[in-house]
Structure formats: C-alpha cells, structure tokens
Amino acid sequence: ALISLRQLLDHAAEHSYGLPAFNVNNLEQMRAIMEAADKMDAPVIVQASAGARKYAGAPFLRHLILAAIEEFPHIPVCMHQDHGTSPAVCQRSIQLGFSSVMMDGSLKDDGKTPADWDYNVDVTKRTVDMAHACGVSVEGELGVLGSLETGTAGEEDGIGAEGVLDHSQLLTDPEEAAQFVKLTHVDALAIAIGTSHGAYKFSRPPSGDILAIERIKEIHRRIPNTHLVMHGSSSVPQEWLKVINEFGGAIPETYGVPVEEIVEGIKHGVRKVNIDTDLRLASTGAMRRAMAQKPSEFDPRKFLKASTDAMRDICIARYEAFGAAGQA
C-alpha cells in the first residue's frame, strides 16, 4: 500500500529503527528493493531523482513504483521525490501521485549554488503548505552536504554544491534547525553531518568518527518530532570495488560511511538513510563479472539478473542492520 513518509517515519521513531531510502531508476533496482523488503518484512521508501526522471521518464518511473505496490500489497511503500529543486517540481510530483517530496532549498534551483536562509525558508514553507493540503509529506534540507575531509560536495554531476565550502556550512546548526522547523513545519529534515553524495566520500579508511554524532544528538534534542534524514549514506563496499576492478573497471581507492556509524546515527535520531551509490556499485560489479565469466552469453537478462541479486543482497543487509526487518 502507498503510505506517506510521515506515517512510515513516525512508526520508525516509535520503534527506534531507521529506514533505508533507496534511489530507483529502473526495473532491476525496483525488483531488488521489493524482493529484499518482502524477504525481510520491511517497509519501503523508494525515491526518484530528477536524473531518474530524465532516464526512465516520469510515467515509467511512476508505474514502476505502482507496479511494486500491486505485486507486494502487504508492504507499505513510500513514493518519495529526491532533491526537488523548486516548489513547482514538488507540485508536479504531487500531481503524479508521490506520497512524499523533498524540497531541497539548501541549494538554489540550479542544484549547485548554496542558497541563503530566507530563500530556503520561503520555498520550503510554500511546498509544505501545498503538500500537506494533499496529505503528502515534506523533507527539507538545512546545511550544505559535503565531506569534512575535503570540504567539497563530492558529486560531479547531479545534486551538489560547487567549489570548496566553508567548514561552518558543512554541519547543520541545531538552533537554526529548530527555527527552520518552527517556520516551515517540515516532516523530515536532511542535515549536514559530514557525509557527501557519490562514491568518493573519504580517501582513507574511516577511523570510526566519520559522522558528527554529537551534532546529531543536539539537533534531535531540539526537534524531537521532526525526523532526521542522512543523505550520502552509502558505505561503498570494498568487496564490490574489488570485483569491479578485477573485471576491467578502474575505480580508485575510496571509502564510504561504515554501516556501524549509520547504526549509531539511528540510535540518536536518524530515521531516513539515503542510499544510491551502493546499489550502483553492486550492480556494476555483478554485471562486469557475469559478462567476463561467460563471454558467449548474449541474453542481457542473465547480466541483469546478476545485477538484481547483488543489489537485493545490499538492501537485505541494510534492512537488517537498521532494525527495519519485521516492521512492515
């Protein structure tokens, strides 16, 4: 059944677990997520970016999610729009039937330029007024996502601030978060706590204090009824990097956010954990390996099945680690 983000995350908060929010672009990702959720009896958040809409087309994307709901009627599914760049984009998604939208007013509508406070409050508040009138939830974002190691957003294409960022922008201020929620009434708030989008988050193995846990605690204390969202939460599995590079790929040494750190964040109020890169890496690795191991094969379903299985296993591991198994 289709369910709003507010309903899903209220349940997660009440029962102290976190939910992965997986990005979806194609059939294989959708199947992987649903097979994992079905196996683990977990609720689902699927999110579609502007890039996904460009790739699959809005009608295909929408019907892919609706098909998942039809095939797995016992699983609650939130259909969320990732990184909306304007109230107009969010309005369009609401018309398409999304049950949740993200208005990312931390960046201007080019998706690159850090926006000021008044802009963010204005676009977010307008989106909340519109969405709540339709029973749709809203996620806002305060602070600019970027690596504390490099001071950059890490993503070359897609959503991410340009240039080197001021260190103070990279951690969301708790007092500002309280003020922002009071002015906008968002259901969920994405906070900057040391993560960045994409595969290149950290150049050295994480030492165990990658996330600003104290900051998460302080923000959660100020806004206990607003669900905290962590973007850039891929763990960048080293085993999949190895497979990719073993079978013809060329990905330099890089690290993500360890699952244990995410679990620590969930203990202190993080409820929605955005993951895209991990499924991309697993999918690419599985396809490269399947193609290399059977060069005579030309039925793409064989490669795509390997991709689906690899992504499904990542989803299963995240549902389990975040405490979402058995909560559907």
| Binding-site residue ranges for Zn(2+) | 83, 104, 141, 197, 231
* 306 closest CA partner among 324, 283, 275: 283
Indicate which residues carry an active-site annotation: 82
Spell out, one character per residue from 10 to 49, where the chain touches ligand G3H: x when CB under 6 A holds, - when not.
-------------x-------------------------x
Binds 52, which of ligand G3H, ligand 13P, Na ion, none (CB < 5 to 8 A, cut-off by type)?
ligand G3H
User: How far is residue 69 from each of residues 1, 43, 285, measured CA to CA in Å?
Assistant: 6, 11, 28
Q: Name residues contacting ligand G3H, limited to 250-309 (CB under 6 A).
A: 276
Neighbouring-strand partners of residue 101: 81, 138
Neighbouring-strand partners of residue 137: 100
Tokens coding 299? 């039925």
Residue 277 binding ligand 13P, by CB under 6 A: yes
Tokens coding 183? 């002015």
Q: Which is nearer to Na ion, 12 or 306 (CB)?
A: 12
Residue 234 binding ligand 13P, by CB under 6 A: yes
* 274 closest CA partner among 73, 90, 5: 5
**Cβ neighbours for 172, distance < 8 A, ≥ 6 positions apart:** 142, 143, 191, 192, 193, 215, 219
Tokens coding 190? 């994405």
Closest residue to ligand G3H: CB criterion: 51
CB 189 within 8 A of CB 241: no
Q: Which is nearer to ligand 13P, 197 or 227 (CB)?
A: 197
Binding region for ligand 13P (CB under 6 A) out of 9-17, 57-65, 174-182, 274-282: 274-282
Q: Which is nearer to ligand G3H, 4 or 26 (CB)?
A: 26
Residue 198 binding ligand 13P, by CB under 6 A: yes
Spell out, one character per residue from 71 to 100, where the chain touches Na ion: x when CB under 5 A holds, - when not.
-----------x------------------
Listed in sequence order, the DSSP H helices in 109-237 are: 117-132, 174-184, 213-222
Q: Which is nearer to ligand G3H, 27 or 178 (CB)?
A: 27
Rounded to whole angstroms, the Cα distance separating 291 from 65 reads 29
Residues that bind ligand 13P (CB under 6 A): 23, 82-83, 197-198, 231-234, 274-278
Residues that bind ligand G3H (CB under 6 A): 23, 49, 51-52, 82-83, 158-159, 197, 276
